[in-house]
């Protein structure tokens, strides 16, 4: 057995072994994803699904995480782009003697005869002159905790660990070096080479990947993504950014169940060196519900229907646990237990420990999820097709529970770990849950306890207006009977709780602009004024920045909204992707890419387009 890992050097901010978070592109097959940096290295890949233990994780530990390096073997400038209207990633190398490119993609086989095959293909092409290339494949299984055997079989390198086996086939000779495989080769103009990494087992036979087959797989993958994107109805000003966001949301979808993960990674820090490092490879009800809204806006109904089915299997009709009929998140397969574990042997991105798997927030009480979910069901019923009688019974169960439980403190949308509070946003979304259900019942003539629902809805409204308003700040606040602002309040006019031109709301918008907005970027809240139980700083939250654009739009401040939106676009990476947060100097922070950010971009672009005419 070969040993996993190597000598360890402590990470630090600016460590050249860790490319900036923004220097990555994403590929995937609707079951898992891989991150490819601008130098051609895959530094994150979990097989065979999003939440499986990593095979490559050098983004979390440069020495022990493992990687798949592929690059020109001479000094070269690099540029990255997506093959138009697809999730096929191209990394180009510009050297003194030629130009080459790597075409990275994962064939989408969900629902086909090869449903069990998990394949990552890397095509290397010399497009001008001649270039030498090098490849090194260094898997480190189970987050670098399992060692593996490496053997050569029929020209393929086979990596076998106790939990997973992978096969590497290539059109160039492969050599072995301890636990790793490598290859060096030179290509002349018009020549190409292929590397394919396949999961072994589960009835899928190993096979090589000749150049001709790789070309066919490339064409099929391009066709799949273009066919999917052709359903989009968006024809507005920011089509390229909106469609890239839609393609990213689709990549974050787990096809077997319809669940949508919050992000592709775990433990990418919200602040380098801090402890705000979380595992986002799970299905948050809130995030997924907002994704459904964004995709429905663009005309993608199949994803909404798949998520509705996911929900149907997991809504508890007997009242559920402490958080009610719903948990705030589930595994991509619907599992309810996601124990949080620290991987102490990983140093973390730029030394940002701890690295975590699982998520301890799974059993938090976050009342806002009911509003986000029922709002998405309402939109599905309105824009796609009427929900079934069984779905309505599930909604009825949820609303009844909300009517009984809305008036209690919770952990809130930001999953604070500093104790429960009476968050205004949580009350707002409880109001949304009841109000949208009443709309559906009225429109469809569905059975409902309307008098009871109405009493609860109106009580929430009056409570927010009485206790969620600060006379001193002249603004709606984070939680009752306090004077702390929170960007989640930007959802008030978006959720149609308050008119976007109501004097109280306009005063709130101005207060948020003075306190939490910095050059169009919006902070969630001030941790010093409202301790959240965690150490370290927080960057600006990109979903809040897009909410701010939408709030300005609805208030009729279109010039401000458009400028803020255009500024936000400059903070995207070179491919149009966003992490969760933006740092002090414009760097991307947090798990990457983040579904929350991309769905908010779609919504802001859609509504700003409509307002501009």
Q: Average pLDDT of the chain?
A: 92
Query: How many angstroms separate the Cα of 380 from the Cα of each of 181, 307, 442, 490?
Result: 49, 11, 16, 23
pLDDT at 316: 63
> Per-residue pLDDT tens for 498-524?
999 999 999 999 999 999 999 999 999
- What's the confidence (pLDDT) of residue 7? 40
Does 415 have pLDDT greater than 90?
A: no
Give the mean pLDDT of 95-109.
Answer: 96
At 13, the pLDDT band (50, 70, 90 cuts) reads low
Q: For the chain, what are the domain ranges? A: 21-229, 232-612
| Top-confidence residue, 340 or 316 | 340
Query: Is 188 in contact with 101 (CB distance < 8 Å)?
Result: no
* 597 catalytically annotated: no
Q: Tell me the pTM.
A: 0.94
pLDDT score at 481: 84
Q: What is the pLDDT of residues 351-379, one digit of tens each?
A: 999 999 999 999 899 999 999 999 999 99
| Nearest CA-CA partner of 244 in 583, 495, 577, 484 | 577
Residue of 2, 38, 41, 336 with catalytic role: 41
Q: Give me the pLDDT at residue 135, please.
A: 98
Alpha-carbon distance 316 to 328, whole Å?
A: 13
Q: Encode pLDDT of 147-200 as tens digits.
A: 999 999 989 999 999 999 999 999 999 999 999 999 999 999 999 999 999 999
Q: Write down the pLDDT at residue 416.
A: 74
> Average pLDDT in the 299-304 region?
92
SS (H, E, C) 524-554: CCCCCCCCCCCCCCCCEEHHHHHHHHHHHHH
Is it the case that residue 65 has pLDDT exceeding 90? yes
Provide the 8-state DSSP code for 266. Answer: B
Q: Give pLDDT tens digits for 383-402.
A: 989 999 989 999 999 999 99
CB-CB contact of 432 with 375 (8 Å)? yes
pLDDT for residue 56: 98
441-461 burial, b at 16+ Cβ within 10 Å, e below that, comes to beeeebebeeeebeebbebbb
pLDDT: is 251 or 113 the higher one?
A: 251
- Residue 267, pLDDT > 70, answer yes
Confidence grade of residue 599 (pLDDT, cut at 50, 70, 90): very high
Whether the ω angle into residue 48 lies within 30 degrees of 0, i.e. cis, is yes
Between 202 and 53, where is the model more confident?
A: 53
- Architecture of the domain spanning 21-229: Distorted Sandwich (2.70)
pLDDT at residue 9, rounded to an integer: 47
Q: What is the mean pLDDT of residues 123-151?
A: 98
* pLDDT at residue 111 in the model: 63
CA geometry: angle 185, 191, 192, nearest 5 deg = 65
**Mean pLDDT value of segment 451-459:** 98
E-state strands within 439-498: 469-470, 475-476
183 CB-side CA count, 13 A: 23
* Confidence band for 319, pLDDT divided at 50, 70 and 90: low
Q: Domain 232-612 belongs to what topology?
A: Glycosyltransferase (1.50.10)
Q: In whole angstroms, give the CA distance from residue 93 to residue 74.
A: 10
Burial class (CB within 10 angstroms; exposed 0-12, middle 13-18, buried 19+) of 205: exposed
In sequence order, the β-bridge partners of residue 182 are 136, 175
Average pLDDT over residues 245-260: 96
Q: pLDDT band at 335, cuts 50/70/90?
A: very high
Give the CA radius of gyration of the chain: 25
Q: How many CB atoms lie within 10 A of CB 9?
A: 12
For residue 279, what pLDDT is reported?
Answer: 97
pLDDT mean over 333-361: 94
Q: What whole-number distance in Å separates Cα of residue 361 and Cα of residue 356?
A: 12
pLDDT at 291 over 80: yes
How many Å apart are CA 58 and CA 60, to the nearest integer? Answer: 5
Determine the Cα–Cα distance for residues 176 and 138; give it in Å rounded to an integer.
10
- Give me the percent of the chain exceeding a pLDDT of 90: 84
E-strand ranges in 74-191 read: 77-82, 89-95, 98-105, 119-138, 149-153, 156-160, 165-170, 175-177, 180-188
């Amino acid at each position: 057995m070969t040993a996993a890992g190597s000598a360890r050097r402590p990470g630090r901010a600016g460590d050249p072994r860790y490319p900036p978070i923004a220097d990555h592109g994403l590929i995937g097959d609707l079951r898992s994803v891989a991150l490819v940096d601008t130098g051609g290295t895959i530094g994150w890949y979990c097989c065979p699904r999003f939440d499986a233990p990593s095979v490559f994780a050098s983004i979390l530990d440069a020495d022990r995480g493992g990687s798949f390096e592929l690059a020109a073997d001479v000094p070269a400038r690099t540029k990255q782009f997506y093959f138009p209207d697809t999730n096929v990633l191209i990394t180009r190398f510009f050297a003194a003697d030629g130009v080459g490119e790597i075409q990275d993609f994962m064939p989408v086989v969900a629902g086909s005869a090869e449903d069990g095959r998990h394949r990552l293909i890397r095509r290397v092409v010399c497009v001008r002159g001649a270039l030498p290339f090098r490849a090194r494949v260094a898997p480190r299984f189970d987050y670098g905790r399992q060692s593996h055997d490496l053997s050569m079989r029929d020209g393929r390198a086979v990596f076998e660990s106790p939990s997973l086996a992978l096969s590497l086939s290539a059109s160039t000779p492969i050599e072995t070096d301890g636990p790793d495989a490598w290859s060096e080769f030179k290509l002349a103009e018009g020549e190409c080479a292929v590397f394919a990494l396949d999961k072994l087992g589960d009835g899928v036979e190993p096979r090589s990947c000749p150049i001709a087959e790789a070309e066919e797989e490339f064409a099929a993958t391009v066709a799949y993504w273009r066919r999917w994107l052709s359903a989009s109805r968006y024809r507005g000003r920011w089509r390229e950014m909106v469609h890239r966001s839609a393609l990213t949301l689709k990549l974050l979808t787990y096809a077997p169940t319809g669940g949508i993960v919050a992000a592709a990674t775990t433990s990418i820090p919200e602040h380098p060196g801090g402890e705000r490092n979380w595992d986002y490879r799970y299905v948050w009800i809130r995030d997924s519900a907002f994704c459904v809204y964004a995709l429905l806006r663009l005309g993608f109904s199949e994803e909404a229907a798949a998520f509705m089915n996911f929900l149907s299997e997991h809504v508890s009709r007997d009242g559920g646990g402490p958080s009610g009929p719903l948990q705030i998140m589930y595994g991509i397969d619907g599992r309810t237990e996601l124990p949080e574990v620290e991987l102490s042997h990983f140093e973390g991105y730029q030394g940002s420990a701890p690295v975590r798997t699982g998520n301890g927030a799974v059993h938090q009480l976050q009342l806002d999820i009911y509003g986000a979910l029922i709002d998405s069901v309402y939109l599905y019923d309105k824009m796609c097709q009427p929900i079934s009688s069984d779905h309505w019974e599930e909604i009825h169960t949820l609303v009844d529970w909300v009517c009984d439980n809305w008036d209690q403190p919770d952990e809130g949308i930001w999953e604070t770990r500093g104790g429960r509070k009476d968050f205004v946003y949580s009350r707002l979304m409880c109001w949304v849950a009841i109000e949208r259900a009443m709309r559906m019942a009225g429109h469809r003539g569905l059975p409902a306890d309307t008098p009871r629902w109405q009493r609860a809805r109106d009580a929430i409204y009056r409570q927010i207006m009485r206790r969620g308003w600060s006379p001193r700040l002249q603004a709606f606040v984070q939680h009752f009977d306090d004077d702390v602002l929170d960007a989640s309040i930007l959802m008030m006019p978006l959720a149609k709780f308050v008119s976007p031109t109501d004097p109280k709301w306009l005063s709130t918008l101005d207060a948020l602009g003075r306190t939490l907005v910095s050059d169009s970027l919006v902070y969630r809240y001030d941790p010093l004024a409202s301790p959240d139980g965690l150490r370290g700083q927080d960057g600006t939250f990109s979903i809040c920045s897009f909410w701010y654009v939408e709030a300005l739009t609805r208030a009729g401040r279109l010039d401000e909204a458009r400028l803020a939106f255009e500024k936000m676009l400059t903070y995207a990476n070179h491919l149009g992707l966003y992490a969760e947060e933006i740092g002090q100097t414009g760097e991307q922070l947090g798990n990457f890419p983040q579904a929350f950010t991309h769905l908010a971009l779609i919504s802001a672009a859609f509504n700003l387009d409509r307002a501009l005419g």
